[in-house]
Structure 1
Amino acid sequence: MAEASRILQTTLIPTFSQNPSQYTIKTHPHFYSPPLTSKKISPFHRIRCSISTATETATKTSVPWGCDIDSVENASNLQKWLSECGLPPQKMGIQRVEVGERGLVALKNIRRGEKLLFVPPSLFITADSEWSRREAGEVLKKYNVPDWPLLATYLISEAGLMNSSRWSNYISALPRQPYSLLYWTRSELDGYLEASQIRVRAIERINDVTGTYNDLRDRIFSKYPDLFPEEVFNIESFKWSFGILFSRLVRLPSMGGRVALVPWADMLNHSCEVETFLDYDKSSQGVVFTTDRAYQPGEQVFISYGKKSNGELLLSYGFVPREGTNPRDSVELSLSLRKSDKCYNEKVEALQKHGLSTPQCFPLQITGWPVELMAYAYLAVSPPSMRSRFDETRWRVFRVNLKTISTQMAAAASNKTTSKKDIRYPEIDEEALQYVLDSCEASISKYSKFLQASAFRFKCASGSMDLDVTNPKLLNRKLFLKQLAVDLCTSERRILFRAQYSLLYLRLESFDQENSNLLTRNSENYFNTSETIKRYKKRRIEGSEDFRWFQKAIQVKNQLYIVWHCDTNGCLGKGEGPGRGLGDGGGGSGALSGFECPEQKHEK
Structure 2
Amino acid sequence: MTVASRLALQASVVPSLSHNHHRFPRSYIISSPTTSKRSPRISCSISLSSAAATTTSIPWGCEVDSLENAEALQKWLSASGLPPQKMKIERVEVGERGLVALKNIRKGEKLLFVPPSLVITADSDWSCPEAGKVLKRNSVPDWPLLATYIISEASLMSKSRWSNYISALPRQPYSLLYWTRSELDRYLEASKIRERAIEMSNDVAGTYNDLKLRIFSKYPDLFPEEVFNMETFRWSFGILFSRLVRLPSMCGKVALVPWADMLNHSCEVETYLDYDKSSKGIVFTTDRQYQPGEQVFISYGKKSNGELLLSYGFVPEEGTNPSDSAELSLSLEKSDKCYKEKLEALRKHGLSASHCFPLQVTGWPVQMMAYAYLVVSPPSMLRQFDELAAAASSKTGARQDIRFPELDGQALRFILDNCEASIAKYSKFLQESGSMDLDFTSPKQLNRRLFLKQLAVNLCYSERRILHRTQYILRRRLRDMRTDELRAPRIFDGFWNLFK
Both structures adopt the same fold (TM-score exceeding 0.5): yes
Distance 2:484 2:338 in 1: 36
Q: Is 1:493 the counterpart of 2:464 in the alignment?
A: yes
Q: Give yes or no for the alignment of 1:455 onto 2:434.
A: yes
Deviation readout 1:311-340 (Å, 9 max, x if unpaired): 000000000011111000001100000001
Contact kept, 8 Å, 2:430 with 2:460, in 1: the verdict is yes
Which of residues 124, 128, 135 in structure 1 aligns to 2:123? Answer: 128
Return the match for 1:429 from 408, 416, 420: 408
SS of 2:98's equivalent in the other structure is: strand
Change in Cα spacing, 1:127 to 1:138, as seen in structure 2 (3 Å) is same
1:508-547 aligned at under 5 Å gives the runs 508-512=479-483
C-alpha displacement of 1:350: 1.3
Residue 349 of structure 2 contacts residue 389 of structure 2 at CA under 8 Å; is this kept in 1? no
Shift of residue 429 of structure 1? Answer: 2.3
**Structure 1 residue aligned with 2:213, among 218, 237, 246?**
218
Q: Residues of 2 paired with 1:295 and 1:78: CA distance?
A: 24
Residue pair 1:271, 1:303 contacting (<8 A) in 2 also:
yes
CA contact (8 A) 1:274 1:304 kept: yes
Residue 277 of structure 2 is matched in structure 1 by 282
- Counterpart in 1 of 2:365? 370
In structure 2, what is the Cα distance between the partners aligned to 1:60 and 1:115? 42
Kept in 1, the 8 Å contact 2:3–2:266? The answer is no
Q: 2:449 aligns with which of 434, 457, 478?
A: 478
Alignment equivalent of 1:360, drawn from 352, 355, 361: 355
TM-score by length of 1: 0.69
1:379 corresponds to which residue? 374
Q: Which amino acid aligns with 1:504?
A: R
- Specify the alignment match of 1:2 in structure 2: 2
Q: How far apart, CA to CA, are the structure 2 residues paired with 1:156 and 1:140?
A: 13
Task: Indicate the larger mover: 118-127 or 448-457.
Answer: 448-457
Task: Return closer, same or farther for 1:402/1:374 CA change in 2, 3 Å cut-off.
Answer: farther
2:71 is aligned with 1:71: no
Instruction: Tell me the SS of whatever aligns to 2:372.
Output: helix
> Is the contact made by 1:181 and 1:315 (CA closer than 8 Å) also made in structure 2?
yes
Three-state SS of the structure 2 residue aligned to 1:391 is: helix
Q: Which residue does the alignment assign to 1:301?
A: 296
Contact 1:131 1:137 in 2 (8 A): yes
Aligned residue type for 1:425: P
Counterpart-to-counterpart distance in 2, 1:91 and 1:57 = 32
Partner of 2:420: 441
- 8 A Cα contact 2:3 2:315, kept in partner: no
Give the alignment of 1:65-464 within 5 angstroms.
65-392=60-387, 423-426=403-406, 428-457=407-436
Partner secondary structure for residue 111 of structure 2? strand
1:216-259 per-residue CA deviation (whole Å, 9 max, x = no partner) reads 00111111111101000000000000000011111000111011
Contact 1:3 1:267 in 2 (8 A): no
Residue-by-residue CA offset, 1:544-599 (whole Å, 9 max, x unaligned): xxxxxxxxxxxxxxxxxxxxxxxxxxxxxxxxxxxxxxxxxxxxxxxxxxxxxxxx
Q: Indicate the structure whose relative CO is greater, using CA pairs within 8 Å and at least 6 residues apart.
A: 2
Deviations, residues 98-150 of structure 1 (Å, cap 9, x unaligned): 11011000111111111000000000101011000111111111111110010
Residue 506 of structure 1 deviates from its aligned partner by 1.7
Return closer, same or farther for 1:396/1:223 CA change in 2, 3 Å cut-off.
Answer: closer
Closer, same or farther: CA 61–97 of 1 in aligned 2, 3 Å: farther
CA RMSD of aligned residues (A): 2.9
Could you tell me which runs of 5 or more consecutive residues in structure 1 were left unpaired when the two chains were aligned. Answer: 5-54, 406-422, 463-471, 516-535, 540-604
Q: What is the Cα deviation at residue 434 of structure 1?
A: 1.0
- Counterpart CA distance in 2 for 1:395 and 1:185 is 38
How far apart are residue 393 of structure 1 and its match? 8.0
Question: Could you tell which deviates more after superposition, 249-258 or 59-68?
Answer: 59-68
Deviations 1:442-467 (A, max 9, x none): 10111000000112349x999xxxxx
Distance 2:481 2:398 in 1: 15
Deviation at 1:385, TM superposition (A): 2.2
Name the residue aligned to 1:571: none
Q: Does the residue aligned with 2:435 lie in a helix, a strand or coil?
A: helix
Q: Secondary structure at the match of 2:89?
A: strand
Deviation at 1:430, TM superposition (A): 1.5
Identify unmatched segments of 5+ residues in structure 2. 5-49, 491-500
Identity %: 74
Could you say what secondary structure the match of 1:104 adopts?
strand
Contact 1:193/1:485, CA 8 A, preserved across alignment: yes
Contact in 2 for aligned 1:279/1:289 (Cα 8 Å)? yes
Contact 1:3 1:268 in 2 (8 A): no
The letter of the residue matching 1:491 is S
Cα–Cα, structure 1 residues 78 and 500, in superposed 2: closer, same or farther, change >3 Å? same
Q: In structure 1, the residue corresponding to 2:99 is in which secondary structure?
A: strand
Residue 475 of structure 1, CA deviation: 6.1
Measured in 1, the distance between the counterparts of 2:413 and 2:306 equals 27
CA change 1:321–1:149 in 2 (3 A) is: same
Go from structure 1 to structure 2 and tell me whether the alpha carbon gap of 1:57 and 1:172 turns closer, same or farther (over 3 Å shift): closer
SS in 1 for 2:194: helix
Q: What's the offset of the Cα at 1:302?
A: 0.2
Aligned partners of 1:110 and 1:296 also within 8 Å: yes
Query: Partners in 1 of 2:301 and 2:365 — Cα distance?
Result: 20
Instruction: Give the SS at the match of 2:275.
Output: strand
Q: Which amino acid aligns with 1:270?
A: H
Return the letter of the residue paired with 1:154: Y
Structure 2: how far apart are the matches of 1:444 and 1:203?
Answer: 22
Q: Could you report, residue by residue, the CA deviation over 1:391-436 in whole angstroms, capped at 9, with x for unpaired residues?
A: 338965999999569xxxxxxxxxxxxxxxxx5332x322111110
Superposition deviation, residue 509 in structure 1:
3.0
Alignment of 1:579-594 (within 5 A): none
- CA distance in 2: counterparts of 1:153 and 1:394, whole angstroms: 41
In the alignment, residue 437 of structure 1 is paired with which amino acid?
Answer: L
Report if aligned partners of 1:375, 1:402 keep a CA contact under 8 Å in 2: no
Compared with structure 1, are the counterparts of its residues 209 and 59 closer, same or farther at alpha carbon in structure 2 (3 Å cutoff)?
closer
The secondary structure found in structure 2 opposite 1:456 is coil
| 1:103 match: secondary structure | strand
For 1:184-217, what per-residue CA distance to the aligned partner results, in whole angstroms no more than 9, with x for missing partners?
0000000111111100000000000000000100
3-state SS in 2 of match to 1:482: helix
> Counterpart of 1:325 in 2: which secondary structure?
coil
Tell me the TM-score normalised to structure 2 length: 0.83
